[in-house]
Amino acid sequence: MLQTVITQKRRIGFFAGVMTYGFWIMGMLPGTGFVAQAMSFLLALPIMAAVAAAVCLWQPQRRGWLEAICFGVLLGSIIGATTRWDGLIGLPLSILFAAGSVMLLHHDWRRILPFRMTVPLTGAATIATADREVLEMCIPGGDEPMISQRFQDIEEDPDEEGAYMAGWIKSGALAEEATLRLVDIRAPKSANLMIEGEDDQGRISETFLTVRANAIDPFSCRLVLTERRSDMALGEAIEFWFDNAPAEEAQNIARVVAKRPQPEPEAVAPLADAAANKQVDPVDISTLNSVRKAVANS
C-alpha cells in the first residue's frame, strides 16, 4: 500500500496543490485574514493528498481522473476569480469543466481529439553492483530473475522464442496482459525490449524500453531506463507521464539490490602500497653504504 502511494507521488502532489489553489482563489477556504487563510491552505493540502491517495489505492483504474479533474477545477476557478462572485461562479464552472475533462480525456468524448501521441520518459538510479549483473536483473530470461514492480508472474511464451508473458501492474492493480519481447542485447551495456499490452477493454499498446547500465566502477553502475510509448490518446499520454514508471522502476531495482548482502570486493593493493612493500635488493644496500663511506672520507 505504501509503495503504491510512493509510486504515485507525482500525481498525488499535483492533485493536492492544484485543488487547494483552486479552492483558495475561489474564496472557498475557511477563515478571514492572511494568517487564517494560510492555515486553511496548509490544512487543505494533506486532505487533498489523502483523497488522491485513496483513489490510487482503491480505484487505480480511475487514477487518470485526478489530473483531469484538476484541469477542470483550475479553469473554472480562474474564470470565477475574474468575476465579482468568485465561488458562486467558479464552483459550478469547476464541476462542469471537471466532468467535461474526464469525458474528453478518458471516456467517449476522447474520439473528438483525433491526434495520437508518442511520449518518451527516462528514469535513472545508481545501483551498487556490476553493470552486467544489473542488465540481467532488468530483462527476462537471464541468469538473474527479472526485478520489476510492474511486471508480475513472468513466464516464457511456449509459442514464440524470445517472448515472455506477464501481468502489467499499474498503481498496484493488474491493468494489462503484457508480452515482453527481447529485441536485442548488447551485454553488458544495454538491451532493448518491445512491450505489447492489452487492457480489459481490448486496447493494444506498444512500448519500447531501452535498458542501459553505465559502469561507474567495478562494483557499481548507473542504470538508465528509457521508455517510449506510441499511439496514445491525449488522456493516456497525460496518465503515462504522471505514472512516471521508468523512474519508479529504476528506484525499485536500486532498493532491492541495496537490501541484498554485498560480497566483499577483492583486495587490490594500490601502486603506492606495492612500492612501499617492495623489498630492496641487498646489493643496492651495500653499494649505498660504499658511497656513504666514500663521501664521509673525502
Select the more confidently predicted residue: 53 or 231. 53
Q: Computed from CA positions of residues 99, 102, 107, 109, in that sequence, does the dihedral angle turn out positive or negative?
A: positive
The answer to whether residues 34 and 149 belong to one domain is no
Tell me the β-bridge partners of 179. 165, 196
CATH number of 158's domain = 3.30.530.20
**Rounded (5°) CA angle 36-42-48:** 125
Q: Left (φ > 0), alpha (ψ -120 to 50) or beta: where does 31 sit?
A: left
Using the 3D structure, point to which of 90, 112, 134 is the last residue of a domain.
112
Residue 115 has pLDDT above 90, yes or no: no
Residues 105 and 121 in one domain: no
Give the range of the structural domain holding residue 79, as residue numbers without chain letter: 2-112
Q: How many distinct structural domains can be found in the chain?
A: 2
**43 in a domain, yes or no?**
yes
What average pLDDT score do residues 265-278 get?
Answer: 41
Note the pLDDT tens digit of each residue in 219-243.
889 999 999 988 888 888 999 899 8
pTM value is: 0.75
Query: Is 148 inside a domain boundary?
Result: yes
With a cut of 80, say whether residue 291 has pLDDT above it: no
Query: Are 153 and 245 part of one and the same domain?
Result: yes
Name the nearest CA neighbour of 121 among 101, 150, 164, 146.
150
Q: How far is CA 139 from CA 45, 114, 124, 263, in A?
A: 39, 35, 16, 23
Q: Are residues 136 and 92 in the same domain?
A: no
Contact 117, 233 (CB under 8 A): yes
